[in-house]
Amino acid sequence: MKKVIGTILGLIFVVAVVCGIVVGTYVFKQPSREGDSRAFINGPWYTEFDKEEGKGIVFDFDKSGEFTLHYYTKEGEYDKFSDDDVIAKGYFKVDQDDKKIKLLITPDYLEQDIVKFDYNLHFFTNIKYQDLEFQMKKKHSDESQDDIPDPTVKFIIGKKSYTLTQKPDDVDVYNSKDIQW
């Protein structure tokens, strides 16, 4: 009897450690400051405003590795949303080789009864991305940068695809304001 209990407790411990490692890779790992990951954390990505439905979708990935997926209800106001507009929150990591964004959605947002979304999100959800076009605009440049187009990408979630555009924020991904010169 002791051997059976010991085996069960051992298995529970191993499962807990493995789950802790998997969740920890999302929660404690910050996104890379280079490549595709750099493009995603540069500012919010939004779909075109659907005038029939009266809303659009914003995918906001920040430099700490957290994301928010929410609706916006006024054209051009991507940052303004209420708690009722939030589709999902959690953590993300970018797999540049497979062209995927791997999401770890916090349990509060797994029930999709309140917010109507085209795809039922799971605890671990993958977003495939294609056609990422991103050119970094230089913050302190004397050259005109009007000819540099806004970044665009196509996200595929389940069987639905979303074409997104980004209005780059003034994101300080290297925390240079904290460096003493």
94 located within any domain: yes
164 located within any domain: yes
Both structure tokens of 154 = 């196509």
pLDDT at 86: 84
Quote the number of domains for the chain.
1
Whether pLDDT at 58 is above 60: yes
The domain that holds 58 is classified in CATH as: 2.40.128.280
Of 35-39, 46-50, 109-113, give the range with the top mean pLDDT.
Answer: 46-50
Whether pLDDT at 24 is above 50: yes
Range of the domain at 91: 35-138+145-171
User: Considering only CA atoms, which of 139, 141, 165, 130 is closest in space to residue 59?
Assistant: 165
pLDDT at 93: 86
Of 67-71, 130-134, 142-146, give the range with the top mean pLDDT.
Answer: 67-71
7 located within any domain: no
Average confidence (pLDDT) over 169-178: 51
CB atoms within 10 A of CB 27: 15
Measure the CA–CA gap between 73 and 55, rounded to whole angstroms.
Answer: 4
pLDDT at 3: 85
120 located within any domain: yes
Whether the Cβ atoms of residue 119 and residue 158 lie closer than 8 Å to each other: yes
150 located within any domain: yes
pTM of the predicted protein model: 0.70
Q: DSSP for 72-128? A: E-STT--S---GGGEEEEEEEEEETTTTEEEEEE-GGG---SSS--SS---SEEEEE
Both structure tokens of 152 = 């665009």
Both structure tokens of 107 = 């349990």
Whether pLDDT at 176 is above 60: no
Give the chain's mean pLDDT: 76
Average confidence (pLDDT) over 24-43: 68
